Amino acid sequence: MTKGHCKLKNLKDQSKLLLRLIQQKGPITRNQIMDITKMKLTTLKRFMQPLLDEGFVIEADLAESTGGRPPVLYDVNPKTYYVIGIDISRTYTEVVITNLKMKIIDLYRFGPPFDPVNTVNQICSYIENKLHQLCIEKSMVIGVGVGTVGPLDRKKGIMLNPANFPSNMWVDVPIKDMLQQKLKLPTTVDNGANAAVLAEHLFGAGQNTDNISYFHCGMGIRTGTISSGNIIRAMNDYEDAFGHMVIDINGDLCHCQNRGCIETYCSIPSITKKFKESLKQSISGYVNKPYDEIDFLDICAAAEENDELAQAAITSAATIFGIGLANYINLVNPELVILSGPIVKHSALFYKIAVEMALKRKYVKNHGVSFSRGGHFKDNAIAVGAAVLLIEEILKNKNAKLLV
């Protein structure tokens, strides 16, 4: 463990809870903290002191006074401790260095993860070089969070056999141990969708709600849900179950061997395949590129330019996704649904139709669910969320209650 990790871990539960509050609400005055926590002033001072002494919290700029001496504002010190978040997805790897405010200090993204050893080497070289360049000592780094594609053995930090990965070398990969051995930093691993939904819940678009569902639509559909403030977890930490919800018992064959899964209609490969099939049968449509070179981004761009075939392909995928989403909303009852990932990012039409369809088909019509395109963290949600997960593991103690 690093010095930063030990210091954070060794804080008393009450100090941890205060830090978590200041992390989310800071800058915040002492009176506001007392209002929220119902702590007495003496208790607050007692548990605040270690946070100030260890450099986790600083007294920030003075707040506006309502008369008399202006009150002190507390905030997380953005320059004493750092966290690393890693997103290993099917089409890219992203590494972020954040401060304790979960603000990105630096970001590195590189190509698809073909080989586990090379991917880990590339991640670690970037981290070592960048920390040196930014004059950040290893002891100031709390640890490393990884958000990746399930199924996982989350406790052991092993990627079991993620579907649709760019190579077949990603079977039983002990990603946690590999990173820990090289970086000598405490490391935690979870699903990317869980990481993303947690980041949005604590620091992003879902800060005011305890019930959020996050959908990452790309090569597959990855789902993370927070219900009553807790991540819904399942055995083996699958995150792609939504994509294998059957919506047509006689539908197309899915790679899971079932028929008619949502994913067979609305993933990047399925939209591209269906568009190309319709293009073959048509004399019109998208003609600016050789057939074999047409990719998903071309289809999204063509749809935005009113190409009828492209619009039909996107509309059909979004309609099916929206019906699945309506079913999911019926079961889980989220207050906020965040749709994200390359399909949502590159196709306004997909987002629009999916939301319309979900609202039209959901069971409880007056249930006030709202939607967000991309959330607050957009493309960086998984990497930032992985860093948040690492901190949460240390700060969150369900049994701790604030002393009054």
Query: Does residue 261 belong to the site contacting Zn ion (CB under 5 A)?
Result: yes
Nearest to 226 by CA among 333, 148, 149, 129: 333
Contacts with Zn ion in 156-195 (CB under 5 A)?
none
Q: Considering beta carbons, is residue 139 or 258 the nearer one to Zn ion? A: 258
Query: Does residue 222 belong to the site contacting Zn ion (CB under 5 A)?
Result: no
Q: Considering beta carbons, is residue 252 or 304 the nearer one to Zn ion? A: 252
Query: Does residue 244 belong to the site contacting Zn ion (CB under 5 A)?
Result: yes
| Number of neighbours of residue 166 by Cβ within 10 angstroms | 14
State the Cα–Cα distance between residues 256 and 329, nearest whole angstrom.
24
165: alpha, beta or left, given left = phi > 0 and alpha = psi -120 to 50?
Answer: beta
Q: Considering beta carbons, is residue 254 or 279 the nearer one to Zn ion? A: 254
Q: Considering beta carbons, is residue 243 or 375 the nearer one to Zn ion? A: 243
- Among 7-15, 22-30, 137-145, 247-255, which window interacts with Zn ion (CB under 5 A)? 247-255
Q: In whole angstroms, how close is the CB of 265 to Zn ion at the nearest point?
A: 11
Q: In whole angstroms, how close is the CB of 272 to Zn ion at the nearest point?
A: 18
Q: Considering beta carbons, is residue 5 or 222 the nearer one to Zn ion? A: 222
Q: Considering beta carbons, is residue 146 or 343 the nearer one to Zn ion? A: 343
Q: In whole angstroms, how close is the CB of 244 to Zn ion at the nearest point?
A: 4
Q: Considering beta carbons, is residue 189 or 262 the nearer one to Zn ion? A: 262
Q: In whole angstroms, how close is the CB of 261 to Zn ion at the nearest point?
A: 3
DSSP string, 116-180: HHHHHHHHHHHHHHHHHHTT--GGGEEEEEEEE-SSEETTTTEE---TT-SSTT-SSB-HHHHHH
Q: Considering beta carbons, is residue 261 or 383 the nearer one to Zn ion? A: 261
Nearest to 339 by CA among 359, 366, 313: 359
- Non-local (6+) Cβ contacts of 292 within 8 A are none
State the Cα–Cα distance between residues 391 and 191, nearest whole angstrom.
16
- Among 45-53, 246-254, 320-328, 339-347, which window interacts with Zn ion (CB under 5 A)? 246-254
Select the residue interacting with Zn ion from 254, 323, 343, 354 (CB under 5 A). Answer: 254
| Number of neighbours of residue 288 by Cβ within 10 angstroms | 10
Q: In whole angstroms, how close is the CB of 327 to Zn ion at the nearest point?
A: 15
Q: In whole angstroms, how close is the CB of 240 to Zn ion at the nearest point?
A: 8
Q: In whole angstroms, how close is the CB of 297 to Zn ion at the nearest point?
A: 25
State the Cα–Cα distance between residues 350 and 347, nearest whole angstrom.
5
H-helix or E-strand spanning residue 181:
helix 175-183
From the number of C-beta atoms within 10 Å of its C-beta (0-12, 13-18, 19+), residue 158 rates as middle
Q: In whole angstroms, how close is the CB of 388 to Zn ion at the nearest point?
A: 30
The CA-based angle 63-56-46, given to 5 degrees, is: 80
Nearest to 195 by CA among 226, 234, 166: 226
- Among 20-28, 157-165, 242-250, 329-337, which window interacts with Zn ion (CB under 5 A)? 242-250
Q: In whole angstroms, how close is the CB of 256 to Zn ion at the nearest point?
A: 3
Q: Considering beta carbons, is residue 219 or 254 the nearer one to Zn ion? A: 254
Q: Tokens 């690093």 — which residue? A: 2
State the Cα–Cα distance between residues 233 and 239, nearest whole angstrom.
9
Q: Which residues bind Zn ion (CB under 5 A)?
A: 244, 254, 256, 258, 261
